[in-house]
Structure 1
Amino acid sequence: MATGSGKTYTAAVSMLDLHRHGRVLMMLPTLDLLVQAAEAWRRVGHRSPMVAVCSIEKDEVLDRLGVRTTTNPIQLALWAGSGPVIVLATYASLVDRTDLNDPSGERRVRGPLEAALADGDALYGQKMAPFDAAVIDEAHGTAGDLGKP
């Protein structure tokens, strides 16, 4: 669909119809689009808890919409581990990163979304259940180089 033609709205309405009480993941390329998506999904009637996996710490729009934000996989697994939830995440939440606890700076750890889905043992037993559906915004930007987020 062309820019401005309602892709976010279409996805939100579709997921409301198909997975109203399910576990839905929406991946987005930017923080601005993440906030816009949260607004659109609430506007069409989504009332499930929402969690944003992103670097936003304080945002008046997300606060008003009741969207929690985190980059901590343990916190994510606690907030969105089971039951109905909409997780909005940037592609950056999947990217491996430098382990801040490694003095050498060479060790890598999984991104917070991937870690919450896969690392139950490493996260004090916290782990997220799988999603029922995923919406990938700007999916054409995910194709190509294997090293791409």
Structure 2
Amino acid sequence: MGGRVPRRRRALTRTALGALLAAAVLTGCGATAPREDGARRAAGRFTAALAARDFGAACGLLAPESREQLTEDGKTPCDRALRSLELPSAGGARAVEVHGRQALLRTDDDTVFLSQFDGGWRVTAAGCVPQPDDLPYRCSLKGA
């Protein structure tokens, strides 16, 4: 037999490799949708908490660095510091962009940035306004 692979075995190997390649392509293409949905839900919970004036719940949805920065800047507990920012509290999600573990969600009234942590998506910045000439967004709430 001298190292020759039977024709039937080669055909099965090609079929298996094709199926694995197709699965990898489909998985790679579909992986963004669940992350987009997760980011959209997290931002929705955050804006709903702001609309309900439940600043304690909104603070619980912040990334740790953003919460720390907020309390340091305001020199008050998170809920009071968040209340003082008067962030936009409502607006339907118009678009979400996910890049790795980072997301940007545009609502009718705001732009919210999020990061994905082991425990889920957390808000890293909100009250963000785009700047001209491709400069970074200016955000009322931001992490360090």
User: TM-score of the superposition, structure 2-length normalised?
Assistant: 0.23
Higher percent of residues as strand? 2
| Higher RCO, Cα 8 Å, sep 6+ | 1
User: TM-score of the superposition, structure 1-length normalised?
Assistant: 0.22
